[in-house]
Amino acid sequence: MRALAIVGPRASLKQVNQFGDPRCELAVLESPTADAVQDALKSRLEIVLVFGGDGTMNRHLAQLANTNMPVMAVPAGSGNDLARTAGMPTLEDAVTTWQKFLSGAANVQSADLGVITAKEMRKPRYFSCCANIGLDADAAKRTDHMPDWLKSHGGYFLGGLAALASYRPQQISYSHDGGQRNERAWFLSVSNTPTFGGGLKIAPQASITDGKLDITVATARRFSRAALAWHFPKIFSGKHVGLAGLEVLTTEHIDISTAAAQPVYADGEYITETPCRIEVAPAALRLVTAQLL
């Protein structure tokens, strides 16, 4: 068997070595460019392992999507929400799943991705977990400037608390297959996976196999700054979903615009600015999972 290991900036060769096995020839690319990954995919491969977090996966989704190549997300970054969704929250879980794959017993499932398009973008951008506009995007920006060790230990939650202190809600217009709204809102999140930001359960009902995206909107009309801060810790358990005034919906696509251009982050990475369109790409990635999803 021939496999490719894409190693992100926070991952180490020591972690990669845990996946060494005489049954597999494992080629390794450390912090590769998109072109390097594209060239490597032209060789005869049977699986790609991505060692890193959701940001590392995000940077290579354009090359990995729609290739029919099994992809395994190895949790070696600060977020790891795709690996968590695939049933591998720890490196040890991933090693166990890898051994099952080598013996022909692992699950490979068709997983959805999100796709972001905007006028200023040269081409669409895939994401695996969550796209954020508003307070969540501001939190992602703050988290991006934190040291790696802090990112891995509740960094996004801390970034969210910092954003809560100063962020001002923005006028957000959004339309989807269920209608159109124009609200002064704190944030709008578009989820493919149940969690983001290292395990925060922004959309616990979300599924990467349902052909839908889950939208979460918190409006300033229903939430004051103090109320939002009071309820914010509920994102750890997902209990915020039941709050009155929090809009939760599912859709295949959503068009978003704001009174002033706002940054759009996805999987912790800066992507573009509003206005933008976000839609689902059903079954775009063949994902190795620890169990059936």
**Whole-structure pTM value:** 0.92
Rounded Cα–Cα distance for residues 187 and 214 (Å): 14
Sorted by where each starts, the structural domains of the chain and their CATH numbers stand as 2-111 (3.40.50.10330), 114-282 (2.60.200.40)
Pairing of strands 107-117, 47-52: unpaired
Rounded Cα–Cα distance for residues 60 and 182 (Å): 34
- Which is higher by pLDDT, 182 or 106? 182
pLDDT for residue 292 is more than 70: yes
- Which is higher by pLDDT, 40 or 149? 40
- Rounded to a whole number of angstroms, the CA Rg of the chain reads 19
What is the per-residue burial (b if ≥16 Cβ within 10 Å, else e) of 141-174?
Answer: bbbbebeeeebbebbbbbbbeebbeebebbebbb
State the average pLDDT for the chain.
Answer: 91
pLDDT digits (tens, 9 = 90+) for 136-161: 788 777 676 555 655 555 555 676 66
pLDDT, mean of residues 240-269: 92
Rounded Cα–Cα distance for residues 171 and 186 (Å): 9
- Which is higher by pLDDT, 150 or 211? 211
Closest CA to 1 of 96, 99, 67: 99
pLDDT, mean of residues 75-98: 95
Q: What is the chain's length?
A: 293
Q: How much of the chain exceeds pLDDT 70, in percent?
A: 94
Q: Where are the alpha helices (DSSP H) in the chain?
A: 13-17, 34-40, 54-64, 81-85, 91-102, 135-144, 148-151, 155-166, 225-231
